[in-house]
Amino acid sequence: MKIEIQNHELLRLTNIVHRAASSKSNIPALSGLLIEVSEEKGLTFTATDMEIGIIASTQDIQIYQEGKVLVNSYYFANLIKVLPDATITMELDETKSKLIIYYSKSSVLINTYLDFEYPKIDIEEKKDRLSLKQSTLREALRKTIIAAAQNHFRQVFTGIYFDYTENCQLNCVASDTHRLAYIKYIFEETEIEPFNFILPIRTVHELLRTLENNDDIINIAASKNNVLFYKDNFYLLSRLLEGQYPTYSQVIPDSSTTNVKIKTSELMNTLERAKIMPTEDKIKLPSILFSIKENEISVNAFSEIVGEIFDVIENVEIQGEKNFDIAFNTNYLYDIIKLMSGECEEIGISISGVNAPVIIQNEKNENYLYVLVPLRTN
């Protein structure tokens, strides 16, 4: 095997693939990056830890000899980051089992693994489910992942639920039981069978690193236990989370007693000030108290360590019941408002009780919303 490639292209390809390799496995091959060179496919990188697998390729190379080699994925990635932006030559020395990387008059020798131990990533026997714009999938993942749990005794809450219904509607949902993110899209196609699956958070992060904010198409194919996302020169295969996702529609309130319209920038500024307030060791949840009044909201964040913040947001449009207090997890509310701050001047907050779930949404875009459960206060 011998090729020439520009380092920026080599780095791009490496960054897409290398995180799929295992960093903990006792099987050396699973920590490897499989490098394959052929006239038909060009340069192809593959990495997998058996939970997720990524394949990416490029034709932007000069091939002198076909072949393949398996090297440590993380060492290879860290090395490529620090090489000069110049033409790189990679050559396999089969007699010494070394991959030699030449840059200018310098070189690096990397030990290789036995590639016959490397597992095959099955990207063939999957049923195509849906094709959509990369920008659409990127938006769905970005706007829901903030509500997924990092750890939970019920694994289903550590992923994003994809639910394609009979009326050609794709619903994407994430929740950690304290907050819920929901976004929907309507498709014109009528021959797609309903399907659903739960995508792990790790897979979501890998997709977000790869998806571009454009109208190019990405395809989704699935089997019982796995899902495949693919586009030109890119395949990502992931195991799915097992379990029954709760009926999310029951969590979304269908009525409210108080409706608030508030300027996004003012609420964002208030939350940024409140967010710096430290919490005590015994109180792990940072909290913020909203006092809903006639046409203003008083916001209070308190800490025994450093003091208290008292903000008043004026000229707030409030309809329905007033003169009550409601508290939220500061970080949860901040995550939502930060995500929405770049796209709407006003945010709508629908309240149906001081202990009932609250809906937060951009009222000019009805295809997504957030549900946040208030904190109980003394």
Do residue 204 and residue 156 come from a single domain?
A: yes
d(CA 126, CA 197): 14
Do residue 90 and residue 29 come from a single domain?
A: yes
Looking at residue 303, its pLDDT comes to: 84
Looking at residue 280, its pLDDT comes to: 66
- Total count of domains within the chain: 3
Is residue 282 over pLDDT 70? no
Tell me if 148 sits within 8 A of 160, measured CB to CB: yes
Query: 359: buried, middle or exposed (CB in 10 Å: 19+, 13-18, 0-12)?
Result: buried
Looking at residue 359, its pLDDT comes to: 98
| 204 CA to centre of own chain | 4
Do residue 137 and residue 42 come from a single domain?
A: no
> What's the mean per-residue pLDDT of the chain?
94
Q: Which residue has the higher pLDDT, 170 or 125?
A: 170
Q: Which run of H or of E encompasses 180?
A: strand 179-186
Segments in the chain forming alpha helices (H): 7-17, 73-81, 134-144, 201-210, 264-275, 330-340
The secondary structure of 74-85 as a DSSP string is: HHHHHHHHTS-S
Looking at residue 247, its pLDDT comes to: 96
Looking at residue 283, its pLDDT comes to: 57
Looking at residue 348, its pLDDT comes to: 97
pLDDT in tens, 3-15: 999 999 999 999 9
378 located within any domain? no
Do residue 265 and residue 220 come from a single domain?
A: no
Is residue 378 over pLDDT 70? no
Which DSSP state fits 31? G
Number of other CB atoms surrounding residue 201 within 10 Å: 19
102 located within any domain? yes
Q: Which residue has the tokens 């490639």?
A: 5
Domain boundary among 70, 91, 117: 117
pLDDT, average across residues 53-72:
97
332 located within any domain? yes
310 located within any domain? yes
Do residue 57 and residue 134 come from a single domain?
A: no
Using pLDDT thresholds of 50, 70 and 90, give the confidence band for residue 277. confident
Domain boundary among 199, 216, 250: 250
User: Could you tell me which of 338, 330, 335 has the C-alpha nearest to residue 284?
Assistant: 330
pLDDT in tens, 28-59: 899 999 999 999 999 999 999 999 999 999 99
pLDDT in tens, 132-179: 999 999 999 999 999 999 999 999 999 999 999 999 999 999 999 999
d(CA 204, CA 142): 9
Do residue 214 and residue 267 come from a single domain?
A: no
- What percent of the chain stands above pLDDT 70? 98
**Whole domain around residue 288: which residue ranges?**
258-372
Do residue 264 and residue 245 come from a single domain?
A: no
The CATH number given to whatever domain includes residue 326 is 3.10.150.10
Residue 305 Cα distances to 272, 327, 351, angstroms: 18, 20, 31
Is residue 291 over pLDDT 90? yes
Number of other CB atoms surrounding residue 83 within 10 Å: 16
122 located within any domain? no
pLDDT, average across residues 290-309:
92
Please give the order of strands across the beta sheet that includes 52-58. Answer: 67-72, 32-38, 42-48, 52-58, 234-239, 226-231, 217-222, 127-133
281 located within any domain? yes
Q: Which residue has the higher pLDDT, 177 or 127?
A: 177
Among the ranges given (108-122, 318-332, 362-376), the one the predictor scored with the smallest mean pLDDT: 108-122
Do residue 235 and residue 298 come from a single domain?
A: no
Domain boundary among 224, 250, 276: 250
Is residue 284 over pLDDT 80? no
Is residue 19 over pLDDT 70? yes
At CA 110, angle to CA 106 and CA 113, rounded to 5? Answer: 160
Among the ranges given (84-88, 103-107, 275-279, 314-318), the one the predictor scored with the smallest mean pLDDT: 275-279
Looking at residue 122, its pLDDT comes to: 83
Specify whether the backbone of 223 is left (phi greater than 0), alpha (psi in -120 to 50) or beta. beta
pLDDT in tens, 329-349: 999 999 999 999 989 999 999
131 located within any domain? yes
Do residue 212 and residue 286 come from a single domain?
A: no
Is residue 374 over pLDDT 80? yes
22 located within any domain? yes
Q: Which residue has the tokens 């790869």?
A: 210
Tell me if 231 sits within 8 A of 348, measured CB to CB: no
Query: 338: buried, middle or exposed (CB in 10 Å: 19+, 13-18, 0-12)?
Result: middle
Tell me if 72 sits within 8 A of 33, measured CB to CB: yes
d(CA 14, CA 30): 16
Tell me if 281 sits within 8 A of 252, measured CB to CB: no
Do residue 179 and residue 212 come from a single domain?
A: yes
**Best-predicted range by mean pLDDT (119-128, 136-145, 186-195, 280-289):** 136-145
Do residue 246 and residue 286 come from a single domain?
A: no
Do residue 243 and residue 262 come from a single domain?
A: no
Looking at residue 114, its pLDDT comes to: 85
Specify whether the backbone of 297 is left (phi greater than 0), alpha (psi in -120 to 50) or beta. beta
- What percent of the chain stands above pLDDT 90? 85
Pair of tokens at residue 241:
């989370």
pLDDT, average across residues 79-99:
96
